[in-house]
Structures are given as C-alpha cells and as structure tokens.
Structure 1
Amino acid sequence: MRTGDMREFLETGVIDAGRMRAVEGNAVALGYPSLLMMESAGRAVADAVLSRTPSRVLVLCGRGNNGGDGMVAARYLQHLDSVDVVYPDCGTTTPSAATQLALLRHCSVALHTVRCAADVETLSRLFDDADVIVDAMLGTGASGAVREPFASLVARANTNSAPIIAVDIPTPGIRASRIVSFHRPKVEGADVVDIGIPFEAEIFTGPGDLTLIPPKGSKAHKGAGGEVLVVGGGPYQGAPYIAALGALRAGADIVRVASPAYIPAPDLIYERLEGKAITADHLATILPLVDRADTVVCGMGAGRESHDVILAVAEAAKRAVFDADALAKPLPAAKETIYTPHAGEFARMTGAEPPTDLVARGRSVKAAATAGTILLKGPVDVISDGSRVRFNRTGTPAMTVGGTGDLLAGVVGALFCHLPAFEAASLAAYVCGRAGMLAAEGRGNGMLATDMLDGIPEILFLPPAPD
C-alpha cells in the first residue's frame, strides 16, 4: 500500500513543540537529515523576505535550530545590498546551527555578536536602516521569560517600522508582521510552508517519539517514575508477572501484582489474593491499591469469571490499561482508559472483526475508540483515540509467542503514568516492537516474551545520538 492512500490520517491544525520534535526525529530516521530540513526551511524564509523586494535585511538569530533557519535564509539573501546577521556569542549552539554559522563566514553577509543590552544598543543603525527584519531568535523549544540579549533585540526591533518576518514562531513579545511556519502551524495565523517531511514521519511511530518521554529530574524521589498496579492471574499464572516486569523495565518505580498466583520476583511487590481466581471477595484488598496507583493494568490471565471485579476496578481507577480477559462486554472504562486487543479481542469488544486492509482497519479502530484509546495489535499495530490514528510497524513474526501482549500492556501502563493515553499507547507499541526485533536477532523463533525485557530500557532510555 502506498503512503498516499493513508493521507486521511495526517493530522491538521496547530502542532505543539513536542509533537513537532517527534515528527522531525522520525523524518531523520527515514533518511531526511536535519540539515536538509533546515535548508528547506531557510530557503522558504528567504523567499518570504524577497517577496517584499528589500535592499537591506537584518536577521536576528539564536543559537538553536531556529537561528540556524535564519542563517540559511541569510545565505540565500547574500546577493542583496546589505545582509546583517546578529547572534549571541554566549551559550550553547546546536550542531546544525553551528554548521550554518560556519558557512556564513564564507558568504557576503556581515556578522555581529551580542552578549548584553549594551551590545544591542551599538547596533541601532542596523535596525534603523533595515527594510525587513527576520526574527529567528527563539523557536518552539523556548520556555520561560525572554532573557538578554534577546529581550533587548526584541525591544529594539519593535521600535522599527520595518516588517518583521518570524521564523516558525515569533519570539515572545516581538511585533511579527508575518509568521512563516514549517510543515504545520505552531500558532494560529501562520503561513505554512511544506519543507518535504515524509508523510510516514507523522502517520507512523518512530524513534522521534522517544523525545516525548519526560526526563527524570536530578531530585527525583522513589515513586517519581510512577506506581503501577497489575491485577490478573488465576487460570494463567505468568501473564501478570510478565506485564509487571514490562512496567518496571519501562521506567515505573513501584509495581505491585495483585493475583492469586505467586511467582517469586524480588523486584515486584506481591499482593496476595487467596484462592484460585479473582473474585468480589478480593475487592477489599484490591481497591485501596487502585487508589494509590498511578495506573492500573488489568485482565491478563484473569479468566472470564473475574469480569465483575474488573468492572469495579475500572470504576475506581484514575488511569487503566485493559487487556486479554478484561476485553469483554460490558467493557470496563476508567476515567482515562487504554485497551490493547488483538484482532479476536477487538471483535469481542466491538462485535466485528477488524478489516485486513490497513486504511479500513484504521477507520475501524478510530470508530471504535469511543470509551478510550485502542491499541489494536497486529503485523501493523493501529492506535486511535477516536480523533487521531497512528500506525506502528516495528515487530517480528517471532513475537507471536505467548506473553508479548502481556508485556506490551505493562509497558503501556508505565508510560501512561507520565504521558497522555494516545502517546503512551503509540510509544509502547513502537518500543515493544523494537525490543522484539532485538530479541529475535539472537534467538529467532525461539524467542520468549521475557527475552524482550532487556531491550525495553535500551530503546526507551538510551536512544542514539540525534542527527
């Protein structure tokens, strides 16, 4: 199937900084280097400047990739009477911006460095003489109050009558006449330029999605990684433990298993449920654990006879992931919910088998995602929250071995402690697929679900260096 057949799943409208960073990372992984993206973006800015037929242009740059875009634009404008580039010579410069600055040293442009408000004041003539000012100071990654020397650059630019063209997003406080955004708008009212990012960078999951994981702070305490409760087991003893270990490997700090079955695992906290199956008698033990958990993962190995208990757990849970035996009618729903069915379980949930055609499958999952986010497992996973649809193609046929779905549910649960449902489900599908591929490299079709465990933190927390 051609990607063009899947255009209906492209998202539209304003895109936030985190999602755009993920899309760009996915584009790099597909073979579109960040320098080439920057080249396309800068050329688009230069075209916007030239549409005003200026003679003298002032380009205000930061040291990030937004500044790099401005430097590319300056290079394409070097044939004009005067092009002045102002940038700070303090702080950290991104590798791509450093490459563009090095190129500018060989171009017919004037470079000016600033460190403080006084330095900006010495450049007043450049502001007064400019026909167009380009704002490439602070991009989508900026946060907090605008500091010097950018605060003075913004104030000085605002006193000039020349039009100001903002690159991707205006620096806070600047008077932008026009905003040129790339790929999708970052703010309302921006003019959007296509810079050639492949469709698949947005439709499919990829390594760029790893940038969504919030870092653990240097002052983090026990429990900051999240607390997950796994409720399951009985007819099938190992399933909840595989899920629980997956949650631990995906960054959860504390993982409890409430189950009638006990399997020694020193990293897990076992909450004993007497008997051979989970029954209503166990709710007095389970519900206090639900109250303290950030996410509940429920259903694996529990058997059909425990469904009333699962419904009670769902009613009490803040966030929950339902898998396996929990995926039956009436469908459990927590305040925020993720369902992780395979095709047969999806049919049990919805009354209809999912189509084999991928586009139709995407539409089917989207239509079914009314009570929460659905992650439909398959050769290509389909994830939808009822408005967005994403696909994941990582994985291997070796993952048909039992337990991989339980592992996925646990990884979803850990990520759900910190990410919204759709993002947690999409990222978990990507990570588990990659972990399965790594495990299969050494064991082929003899791979076990537990062989995937070591690959999960390697993929989640030790990503390769960015382009």
Structure 2
Amino acid sequence: MKPVKFLASIPQYAYSAEAVQKNEGKIAEQANLNLYQLMESAGLAAFQLLQSQWPNCKTFLIVCGKGNNGGDGFVLARLALENGIQVYLHSLAAVENYQGDAKRACEQYLKAGGCLHTIDEIDFSTVDIIVDALLGTGLSRTVRDNYRDVIELLNQLEKPILSLDVPSGLNANTGQVLGCAINAEATITFVGVKKGLLTGVAGDHCGELHFSGLGIGAAFSQQVNSTVTINSRDSLTALQPRRQSAHKGDSGFVLVVGGNLGMPGAVRLSAEASLRSGAGLVAVACHKHNQMIVTATRPELMLVSIGSKNIDNQHKVHKTNVVVIGPGLGTDTWATEQFQRVLALNKPMVVDADGLNLLASNPQYRKNWVLTPHPGEAARLLHCTVAEIEQDRFESAKAIALKYGGVCVLKGAGTLISDGNNVVINITGNSGMAVGGMGDVLSGIIGALILQSTNIFLAARYAVYLHGRAADIAITYGQKGLLASDLFPYIRQLVNE
C-alpha cells in the first residue's frame, strides 16, 4: 500500500478517471473494504510519501475542495496532527457542505483537534510544504474563479506542492490544463494511473509521479480493461538477434527519401538512424545537389534516384523493403514528384515531416504505413488547430489512424502510438529532445524496426521507446545542447539489448 515512484514499478495500463470511479467501489467490496477505508488509505499513502520525501517538514498547508479529493486531504491533515505536525487547513467549502465520506473525514479531522483557516490566518512564511487536495479527477470544465485564485496563490508561494491523485486544474483524461493548474513537485495517484498524467503538458504540472493501489490496485488492473497501454521495456517483445550466418540482405533494405535543396541534414540523420538500428542496407534518394554532402560523412549509405530509368537504379529501388519519406523533403514540384513515386512503390512506409504535409493535401488510406506527426502536422492532417489537437491527444492520435490507416505516432511529451483503437503512451525521453533532427532520427529507427518486427504497430512502439531511452542515456551532461546525432551510439547499444 505504500506509494512507489512511478518509474520504479511501471504498471501496464493507464485508465480514464471514469473507469476508476466506476469500478473502485466494487473491487474494494470484494476485498471487504468500503470507500471510506480507501479514503483513509489514500490519506495515509500521501502522508507516508510526505514523510519519506520531505522528512524535515514541520508545517503543512493543506487546501481542500468539497469532494472526495478534499476528503483525502482531511485524512492526511488528521494524520499530520496526530504526528505532531502543525497544520494549516484551508477549505473552499463550509463544513456543513461536505457530504458522504468527505464529511466523515472532515469530522474526524475536527475531532482530532484540527480547525479550518482562512487565507488571512495562514502564516505562509512558516509553511514547509503544501498539499493540493482541491479538485481531483472530476474536473471537466474551466476552473472556477474561487479555485483559480487559490491555485494561482499556491503556485506563487515557491513552496513544494504535493498533489493528491491529479494536480488541480488538470484534466485527468487528457492532460489538458483547464484554465490554470497546480505546478506540483510531486503527484501521488491512486488505484489506477490516470492516462492524462502521462502526456502533453501534464509533466509540467505533475512533477515526480508516484502511485499507490490502496490495496486494490492489482485486482483493479486484472478486472478493469483499458485500451491505453504504457510503453515500457517489459511490455515489448525483445528484438530477435541476428543469425550467425546472416548477410546484409537478410537484415533488410531501407530507402530514405527527402533532402531537398538546402536540406541535406534531415535525410542524412534519418538514414544513419536506420543503419544504427539494424538495417542491413540503406539508400538515400535526395536532391542531386545534396548527394555529395549526404555520403561524404557516411560512406555506408547508397544513393539512388527514384525517377531514374537506369536499370540498376530501378532494381535497387524496387528491392527495398521499407521506405521512409519526408525528412527535408519540402513541398515543391520535386518533392511532390518524389512523394507520388514512393506511393506507387506500395512498400511498407514511414511518413514524416513534409511527407505528412503532402499527405494532408491529398489524403489517402493505407494499412501499411506509420505516420509520425508533431501537433502542427497533426492539425493539418485533421484540418483543425493545434489547440484542438492538444485538447485531447488520445482522440487526435486515434482519429489520424482511423482517417489515414496504419499507425499514428503523435509526437511530443508523452508520445502516443495508436492504430485507431488502442493507444500506447511512451514514457521515455526528455526535454533535451526539443531540438531539430530528433524526428528525423525517429523516422529512421521506425523504418529499420519494421524490418525486425512482426507488425508496424509493434515496430512503432519499440522505436519510440528506444528513441526516448537513447535520449535519456545521452543527457549525462544536461539536456540543453543535446544533438539528434548524439543518440546514435546509444541507439546501437539499445537495439542489441
């Protein structure tokens, strides 16, 4: 029942707030527990986390809303009092307005000698830590003014904040900020990990994520289905090692198409990423003025021209197993011609960057491609705004896969991989990846792993995990200044594990 750091014991699934709310009572009953006992367990788990993370804190400020999240806060406050800790408790509801289990928790706190404080009665200079028990998982509309005022005040105090279940103001299902949200240093979530905590801007508000199943977590995960999986090393099938007798042809042939005039870097990065990820052969089709630049620093790359009538050249193009198109492609006449020729090959495909922009202008449906948009490209694919994409990244990723077929990899913090029905949340990677060329490297990795996987969904999952993990290893000296090419040694290491 004690809380664990999320990354120390990664669960297999993430859930909607509604799934947890609907099922936790039933599963608790099977364990001879009631919902008030779960509330007691939540308050205890949060208190244990406070004691382990901030053992020297002597004064708590606990802010409670009127729902069950506030009830968790009252339990924690009572435990703090019983352990000799000074407690300021500010409630946004009058005592008489609490109901059910939250009312009982409030009464127990008052019976233990606690009291409620107005904002003016709190000596903020003495507060060591803040506990956010305001809104929890039930929020689905913009934060109301009275809650907004408290959230903004707490964020300005420059004190560590622990949020209970979900940082107040954050949508538990989407990770969207509903007007404003607590900036927590840590969040402890209960029973099942809420999917919105793992993608988009949620990471800016959750801080370090912890989890407590409250004694029913294992039964909950066994009995409650979810279409949202967490992408961890343990959830992925290991890549098969090469046979001792393997030759380059056995390892597969990737064709990378892009590198328009003035943009040689993107196609060069993508092509090397394919090589480093285990492709046996990689050829590049780029603008003729970039050919020398692409091969000068990586002689293992071949050059081809998709439109050439040369028989040897045509043979190489048609021999390729997977095509990656888009890195540095552009959208001019040359780019459009390359795009149409690639589509005519009808090979398994990774479509990135300007390949996605060309696809948005001429929508097609295929089952054998992986589309890798960032939010801006996703907005063009769905003919909406970036804000609408970020409003619900889960539905956006599914919508792209349903509209265009294949698999969508919606990039960003907490990258999502979807086949239109299932969604996988990736949890590797860091903000050092916010630099040009990272997407090009990812597209090359996906291309190579399609050669080594049983299906493109698994290839995309593995590639996104590996890409982020390589970046996590590469930030030894910090996140700023990380280059996309810095990942190559670690990609090679990880693909061989």
State the TM-score bracket (shorter-chain normalisation). Answer: 0.5 to 0.7
Secondary structure at 2:460's aligned position in 1? Answer: helix
Partners in 1 of 2:367 and 2:312 — Cα distance? 21
Matches within 5 A, 1:325-344: 325-328=354-357, 329-331=361-363, 336-344=368-376
Does residue 389 of the first structure (1) align with residue 448 of the second (2)? Answer: no
Amino acid at match of 1:225: S
Partners in 1 of 2:233 and 2:364 — Cα distance? 32
Partners in 2 of 1:227 and 1:418 — Cα distance? 11
Q: Residue 341 of structure 2 corresponds to which residue in structure 1?
A: 312
Give how far 1:319 is off: 0.4
Matches within 5 A, 1:353-392: 353=385, 360-370=392-402, 371-392=405-426
Give how far 1:385 is off: 1.1
Does residue 403 of the first structure (1) align with residue 429 of the second (2)? Answer: no
Give how far 1:409 is off: 0.1
Give how far 1:333 is off: 5.8
Q: Deviations over 1:144-170 (max 9, x none)?
A: xxxxxxxxxxxxxxxxxxxxxxxxxxx
Amino acid at match of 2:432: A
Give how far 1:200 is off: 9.7
Secondary structure at 2:465's aligned position in 1? Answer: helix
Partners in 1 of 2:271 and 2:480 — Cα distance? 24
Give how far 1:325 is off: 0.7
Alignment CA distance shift 1:209-1:292 (3 Å): farther
Q: Residue 453 of structure 1 corresponds to which residue in structure 2?
A: 488
Partners in 2 of 1:333 and 1:439 — Cα distance? 37
TM-score by length of 2: 0.50
Secondary structure at 1:307's aligned position in 2? Answer: helix
Q: Residue 23 of structure 1 corresponds to which residue in structure 2?
A: none
Partners in 1 of 2:279 and 2:365 — Cα distance? 22
Unaligned runs of 5+ in 2: 1-5, 7-12, 21-217
Does residue 228 of the first structure (1) align with residue 262 of the second (2)? Answer: no
Matches within 5 A, 1:30-429: 203-235=229-261, 236-260=263-287, 261-262=290-291, 263=294, 264-271=296-303, 273=305, 288-305=315-332, 306-328=335-357, 329-331=361-363, 336-353=368-385, 360-370=392-402, 371-419=405-453, 420-429=455-464
**Considering only aligned residues, what root-mean-square deviation do their CA atoms show, in Å?**
3.3
Partners in 2 of 1:387 and 1:283 — Cα distance? 43
Runs of 4+ residues deviating >6 angstroms: 6-9, 197-202, 281-286, 356-359
Give how far 1:457 is off: 2.1
Give how far 1:222 is off: 2.1
Number of positions where the alignment pairs a residue of Structure 1 with one of Structure 2: 274
Unaligned runs of 5+ in 1: 10-192, 463-467
Alignment CA distance shift 1:397-1:334 (3 Å): same
Give how far 1:206 is off: 0.8
Give how far 1:266 is off: 3.7
Partners in 1 of 2:328 and 2:353 — Cα distance? 7
Give how far 1:355 is off: 5.7
Q: Deviations over 1:50-99 (max 9, x none)?
A: xxxxxxxxxxxxxxxxxxxxxxxxxxxxxxxxxxxxxxxxxxxxxxxxxx
Does residue 433 of the first structure (1) align with residue 462 of the second (2)? Answer: no
Q: Residue 132 of structure 1 corresponds to which residue in structure 2?
A: none
Give how far 1:283 is off: 10
Partners in 1 of 2:279 and 2:385 — Cα distance? 34
Partners in 1 of 2:352 and 2:444 — Cα distance? 10
Q: Residue 91 of structure 2 corresponds to which residue in structure 1?
A: none
Partners in 2 of 1:327 and 1:314 — Cα distance? 13
Partners in 2 of 1:288 and 1:452 — Cα distance? 32
